[in-house]
Amino acid sequence: MRTTFPKPPAVPTWLLRFVLHDVDTDTVLGDLEETYVHLCGSYSVREARRWYWSQVLRSVPAFFIRSFYWMTLMIRHYAKISLRTMRKQAGYTAVNVFGLAVAIAICLLIFLFIRDEFTFDRFHTERDRIFQVERAYYHPDGSLRAQSVNGPGVLRAAMLEELPDVAHAVRVTYGEQDYFVRVGETATEERILFTDADAFEVFTFPFKQGNPATALQQPDGIVLTEALAKKHFGDEDPFGQTVQLHLGGAYQDFTVTGVMYDIPSNSTLQFAAAVEVNRAIEVGPILREIWDSWSLSYFRTFVLLDENAQEATAEAKLPAFTEKYRGNELTTLRERYDWGSDGLPMSYVYEPLTALHFSNYSTPTYSYILGGIALAILLIACINFMTLAIGRSASRGREIGVRKVVGAQRRQLMGQFWGEAMLMSAVALILGMTLAYLLLPAFNGLADKNLSFAAGNPWGLVLVLAGLMFGTGLIAGSYPAVVLSAFRPVETLKNKLRLSGSNMFTKTLIVVQFALTVFLVASTLVMVQQLNFIRTTDLGFNTDQVVVLPTQGQDGLEIAQRVRQQLQTDPRIVDVVATGILPGYRGSTGVGFEHEGVSYNINLFSVETNYLDFFDLELAAGRNFDPNLTTDTSNVILVNETLLETFGIDDPLGKEIPGFGFMDPPPIIAGVVKDFTYQALYQEQQPMLMTLESFWGFEYVFVRIAPTDIPGSMAAIEAAWGDAAPTVPWKYSFLDDEMQRVYEADQRWARIVRYAAFIAIVIACLGLLGLAALTVAARTKEIGIRKVLGASASRVVVLISKDFLWLVGIGVVIATPVAYYVMAGWLENFEFRIMLGPWLFVGAGLLAIAVAFVTVSYQSLKAAHADPVKSLRYE
């Protein structure tokens, strides 16, 4: 028979102390063990052990309740002390809270921007199966040479026939410009999408009315967005109603077969209405001739892969497909580049839909830059908090010493300091959210976005808010929590601490703070200078007082002639001309051809005979078009100097462009126009020719007016336009404004960085102002003695300011090479750009030093003009 029993499990003493609060734990544990032994004799040991643990653990809920209670008391205690400290030092609290609130507001706004950028096209249900078909050109070593997104319309049918992995293939194009949509007498200019009937089975654009699968099956069907339907029909039901679309120079009737909900702002495809793709053939005369040709590059083609298809397997079939349908092009490319490798010099590839925004329309670099700006401003605000905490450290030294003497542990002091930082961060978060909400409309206008706090996943925003509050609190409160809590009680009570703004850590923080600020200021100066250079650069032709009138696909040559005839006696009208190209565009509207194994692209201008005179263009050789020679219409061209250099033509007059067979018969060069910058300044000068023949159509009529009576001139032009083109709605702009729109994105970034630099300077100076005040307070007696001994106010200002200004100077030295490197990379985007001279960075540094000097001098002058008797009584 068993006389000894297993020992009861060892119970952690800390557990009993909490669950059996204010009770003799030894007595309780002895009673439990005695009962345990008794039970072991009556029941199995397993059952006895189970009873034992149930008795020990049954008070564990009380442990959690008690822990929560003590934690609540601790938080309440810390909060009371924090509020008292904040109220006592209201000035420093205001500086910290305001700086943190502004920084948090900036971070929230930039988070919305970055979230929008990185969630493009992710609302489509089948987004992981949708790909854009692109052509990739390779070097013989396999590296990517170039990529083309546009392709022929016949590509769709070929892929559906040859590639079983392709469930759907759709073509999309917007045409060359926006189109007028009219209901009754009301016409608005809208972006129209030309696409295949099954497009809405590929893309997820929810319909409010109509069937997405059949909405575009009828040739005259049109699908409107909810906003466009509201604009034209108000509260009336638009479904089945007639809408007129201006195509091919005249309004044509369409029937509303569907109404979509408004398209999200983070969609690559943006349009107000959609029609069947074959209606695009009416946009330009040249499309009718090459509509079914593989040489046409007018559409973007999207495919929806079968749900069982794998991307890698499906893409592996594209080289064979390319060989079959683009064999002639591949042969030419192999000969041109002495192709000796096994791969293809060109092949179709699949580009994921979710990657299109950054690969074709935007760049993540701007998002990273904005994120860096937000973090820099937040870091500057946190540095303010830490530097002011260091400055106040001496005044809180005795508080820390007393707390330690009466038994406070270091972790409790750390909790107190971090608690103060968290409370201040929470207040700043509330103010920052309010500021962000109020500033959101202005930021949307600045960034050309339609951002909203309600859009996207709300939990992501909640996590960002929590991260901002806790992250800011942890960073901002790190120095007082870690360093101040480690002070020895004897030193603090004897007031031996000497930290007030003079230690190395404080100096480092000030250097980092102003290095970030100078970087933003220097970047702003470079951007502003480059954009001013673009705006004032001599383009080589006259753009002053030129009114631009789009012809909306109608024959602009006839319209220009009728407008010119009606206005020829008006002294306010200088000249009228029709053309097919709007100067200042970013891209190419040329024709490509092969010559001796080399691919060339020539930008082709359809013009009138007075085009050179209209824009004050100069001839380097030869003659202008002669309106009296009928042969000039189809057999004579003018070229620019770059074209001669490209083809190596020394004596061009009377010669043909080698290999140029796009025009039949081949044209003869009659004159050479001096180079002028007809494209955006991002691009280098390209070959260009002018012809009187209409290839792309005369899409624009230009009217140059005298600067004396602009309102009267515009009224006269509008009246003449109504008679000359009664079916084309009146719409105008000025050429210099149109050319500046090319640089809107860069101008937006310049404004964003400019505002960021201003905010950074304000926040940095707020911190410097507070730290200077603390420094002056710590040196009050010294300043009083110096004044009694005869020191002037200027000497006192220099005494206080020099300790800060040399730190700002170090920040300037650190920031300058970084700003130079980053801005040199940004300027690489421009073919025509400024030279980065040292004065830009010297100016940024001097500005930072001047602002810092004014900030510190304010506190220094207050101390210098104080009564020295009161200063000597200080402490």
**Alpha carbon 66 to chain centroid distance?**
50
> Which is more confidently placed, 70 or 312?
312
The contacts of residue 838 (CB under 8 Å, 6+ apart) are none
pLDDT digits (tens, 9 = 90+) for 94-132: 777 888 888 888 888 888 888 888 889 999 999 999 999
At 378, is the pLDDT very low, low, confident or very high (cuts 50, 70, 90)?
confident
> Which tokens go with 685?
């000068």
Residue 58, judged by CB atoms within 10 A of its CB (0-12, 13-18, 19+), counts as: exposed
Concatenated DSSP letters for 3-66? ---PPPPPPPHHHHHHHTTTS-HHHHHHHHHHHHHHHHHHS-HHHHHHHHHHHHHTTHHHHHHH
Residue 668, judged by CB atoms within 10 A of its CB (0-12, 13-18, 19+), counts as: middle
Rounded Cα distance, 589 and 585, in Å: 9
The contacts of residue 601 (CB under 8 Å, 6+ apart) are 588, 590, 591, 592, 686, 687
Give how far Cα 522 sits from Cα of 221, 754, 812, 834, 849, Å: 55, 10, 10, 14, 13
pLDDT digits (tens, 9 = 90+) for 423-451: 778 888 889 899 999 999 888 888 888 88
Concatenated DSSP letters for 696-734? S---EEEEEE-SS-HHHHHHHHHHHHHHH-TTSPP--EE
- Regarding pTM above 0.85, the answer is no
The contacts of residue 567 (CB under 8 Å, 6+ apart) are 573, 576, 703, 716, 717, 720
pLDDT digits (tens, 9 = 90+) for 274-295: 999 888 877 665 566 667 777 6
Residue 520, judged by CB atoms within 10 A of its CB (0-12, 13-18, 19+), counts as: buried
- The pLDDT score that the predictor gives to residue 195 is 93
Q: What are phi and psi of 829, to 5 degrees?
A: -70, -15
Query: By the 8 A CB rule, do 183 and 322 touch?
Result: no
Asked whether the predicted pLDDT for residue 695 surpasses 50, the reply is: yes
Rg, C-alpha atoms of the chain = 38
The mean per-residue pLDDT over the stretch 230-245 comes to 92
Q: Name the 3-class secondary structure at 342.
A: coil
**Alpha carbon 761 to chain centroid distance?**
23
Query: What is the greatest pairwise CA distance in the chain?
Result: 133
The mean per-residue pLDDT over the stretch 621-645 comes to 84
Residues 670-692 as b/e (b if ≥16 CB within 10 A, e otherwise) read bbbbebbbbbbbbeebbbbbbbb
Rounded Cα distance, 175 and 118, in Å: 27
Rounded Cα distance, 663 and 744, in Å: 36
Q: Is the dihedral of CA 266, 269, 274, 276 positive or negative?
A: negative
Query: By the 8 A CB rule, do 516 and 757 touch?
Result: no
- The pLDDT score that the predictor gives to residue 246 is 84
Work out the mean pLDDT of the chain and round it to a whole number.
79
Q: How far apart are the first and last CA of the chain?
A: 84
Least confident of 181-190, 278-287, 560-569: 278-287
Query: By the 8 A CB rule, do 393 and 500 touch?
Result: yes
Nearest to 721 by CA among 713, 710, 729: 729
pLDDT digits (tens, 9 = 90+) for 734-757: 888 877 777 777 777 778 777 877
The mean per-residue pLDDT over the stretch 708-722 comes to 88
pLDDT digits (tens, 9 = 90+) for 787-809: 777 777 777 777 777 777 888 88
**Alpha carbon 756 to chain centroid distance?**
14
Count Cα atoms within 13 angstroms, Cβ side, for 430. 5
- Percent of residues, the chain, with pLDDT higher than 90: 15
At 204, is the pLDDT very low, low, confident or very high (cuts 50, 70, 90)?
very high
Nearest to 180 by CA among 284, 77, 273: 273
The one-letter code for the residue type at 702 is F
> Which is more confidently placed, 458 or 150?
150
Least confident of 303-307, 385-389, 632-636: 385-389
Compute, in degrees rounded to 10, the torsion defined by CA atoms 33, 34, 36, 38.
Answer: 160
Q: Name the 3-class secondary structure at 541.
A: coil
Asked whether the predicted pLDDT for residue 144 surpasses 60, the reply is: yes
Concatenated DSSP letters for 78-142? HHHHHHHHHHHTHHHHHHHHHHHHHHHHHHHHHHHHHHHHHTTTTTSTTGGGEEEEEEEEE-TTS
| N residues, the chain | 875
- CA 522-524-530 angle, 5° bins: 105
Rounded Cα distance, 558 and 858, in Å: 71
Rounded Cα distance, 123 and 187, in Å: 31
pLDDT digits (tens, 9 = 90+) for 491-541: 555 554 444 444 676 777 778 888 888 888 888 888 888 877 877 777 778
- CA 68-69-75 angle, 5° bins: 85
Sheet holding 598-606, edge to edge: 590-595, 598-606, 688-691, 636-640, 668-673, 619-622
The mean per-residue pLDDT over the stretch 812-823 comes to 88
- The pLDDT score that the predictor gives to residue 141 is 76
The one-letter code for the residue type at 211 is N
Asked whether the predicted pLDDT for residue 454 surpasses 80, the reply is: no
At 201, is the pLDDT very low, low, confident or very high (cuts 50, 70, 90)?
very high
Asked whether the predicted pLDDT for residue 250 surpasses 60, the reply is: yes
The mean per-residue pLDDT over the stretch 585-589 comes to 50
> Which is more confidently placed, 155 or 478?
155
Asked whether the predicted pLDDT for residue 193 surpasses 90, the reply is: yes
Asked whether the predicted pLDDT for residue 391 surpasses 70, the reply is: no
The contacts of residue 65 (CB under 8 Å, 6+ apart) are none
Rounded Cα distance, 815 and 285, in Å: 56
Q: Name the 3-class secondary structure at 515.
A: helix
Query: By the 8 A CB rule, do 759 and 517 touch?
Result: no
At 255, is the pLDDT very low, low, confident or very high (cuts 50, 70, 90)?
very high
Residue 143: how many CB atoms within 10 A of its CB?
7
Asked whether the predicted pLDDT for residue 365 surpasses 60, the reply is: yes
- The pLDDT score that the predictor gives to residue 272 is 93
At 239, is the pLDDT very low, low, confident or very high (cuts 50, 70, 90)?
very high
- The pLDDT score that the predictor gives to residue 586 is 45
- Percent of residues, the chain, with pLDDT higher than 70: 76
**H or E element at residue 216:** none
